[in-house]
Structure 1
Amino acid sequence: MFKRSVVFCSLIFSFLLISSHQTILADETYTLHPGSYEPSSFQTPFIVGQKGQIRRPSDSPFKDSNYSFYFKVDDPSILTFDEKGNWQALKPGTTTIHFFISTSEKFEQEKQRLGIKNFTATEELTTMSVTVLEPTIDVYRVYNPNSGEHFYTIDDSERKYLYRLGWHNEGIAWQADYDGLPVQRYYNPNTGDHHFTLNFTEGIHLLQIGWQNEGTAFYTHGDSGVMRLYHPRKKVGTHFFTTSLTEKEQLLRLGWQDEGVAFPFIGPE
């Protein structure tokens, strides 16, 4: 009885093991779409200097293929591919990618290796517009002469809107990223003041006393620090952020208090 149980369990285990892998059937006809790919292998946003390899979907019989793609890029000085689907973002700009199924000998050999004898290709034209971004993004600083508040944004439309409302342009404060540490923006509906912080505990405290979370203002990382100062007698514009030691020293002489480094940023090379 014990021997039969062992044999039965072994058969079940073997069935589960075989079932866990996709089986390529020799007589099966598989359909391949020119533009089908695994999303994680070719994700936006594209940043200058990024590299990767575009792959077929993980549930596709072609998932282990390296030569099934063929690309035409309208401006290959922005984004380029090699025959194995390795891509590289070269410079900022927008271009269009045209996806085709390869007719190369290497793909024919690959199909034999994968055990795929029959497949059909959909004929629909697949194109994709992609934008490659600079590795950093400018954080603008604007000033409200009526309230005394300084405001920081990476949104050029928001910056221009504030100009029309009478805010003053104070240029680029520092540079942020498209990924990294998320700096949160909070708004006080009673005073109109804004605050920026990486500190989760501080954010929870602000919500508890009536501030509103306006989401991620920008992402940041780096070896340099954005310094934070606080003025105890102000009701609006209570906090000030700067990367300038000279500006910091001037504000300290005017009664502002040093609160240390607020968050990192990418300093000058």
Structure 2
Amino acid sequence: MTLLEYIKGCQNRVDEQLREVLPATSQVSQTLVEAMSYSVFNGGKRIRPILVYAAAEAVGGHQNFADPAACAVELIHAYSLVHDDLPAMDDDDLRRGKPTCHKAFDEATAILAGDALQTLAFEVLATAGQDISDSVRLKLVTELAQASGHSGMCGGQSMDLNSVGSALDQEQLQLMHSHKTGALIRASVIMGALTLGSVQTQELENLTRYADAIGLAFQVQDDILDVISDTETLGKQQGADLALDKPTYVSLMGLDGARELAASLCQQAIQSLEGFGDRATVLRQMAEYVIQRSH
């Protein structure tokens, strides 16, 4: 199976799972559930669920046990994008080539849709089937909560908003993106491994190093694409970071320097997986995919 075939299989799998957990109708607010579905099924690459599945397999687990974790991380990711696009934050009109949630509906509905997607993520983990023990369930909930909240994604987003127009150095930029983008990518990898139930401490440490490297590489590539790509390919406004005067790796290091950093991080990630053998082949391929993608 090629990587693209694996990716497609995981995308289909998690989409099927997401359709089962997302409400189709509501006696309370049909508009809200439509906005939730709109925000989840709008063409996402599903990189985080793919990492959940691949990490589970890398430690000897199975995708069946990883389904709730895969759904949960994608629901958190979807909620974060809905809120990130709001006028109070990045004020974006396009997401994945389609109108952002607050444009397709309205701002209030977008806020509530994001809130509902976030809480649904934890409901999915809390009500996962009997194949997941209570102790593993608690670890999954804790990992996702820490990655999403003030010490993770939300903290990074706050730092991002507060840094507009500021001259951050590379260390500060890395701190921001290790939280804003990297925290949920790290959680995806770790949660996938945790679904095995008997993952070793050394395996988790190696996977954490891998995830930290690709999480940062993912953001570096985003910064590169914001400069070299176009709006149609990106599915969002090209040059948005420059327009908002946000610090990026390209603005700090130049285009060539950012490319060199992305390649170095990819190699760091691959080296972190030396002890996993063939089971981690997909994770190695995903490290390269992250810095080769065009959107």
> Normalised by the size of structure 1, how large is the TM-score?
0.22
More helix by share: 2
Q: Based on CA coordinates, which of the two structures has the bigger radius of gyration?
A: 1
More strand by share: 1
Higher relative contact order (CA 8 A, sep 6+): 2
> Normalised by the size of structure 2, how large is the TM-score?
0.21
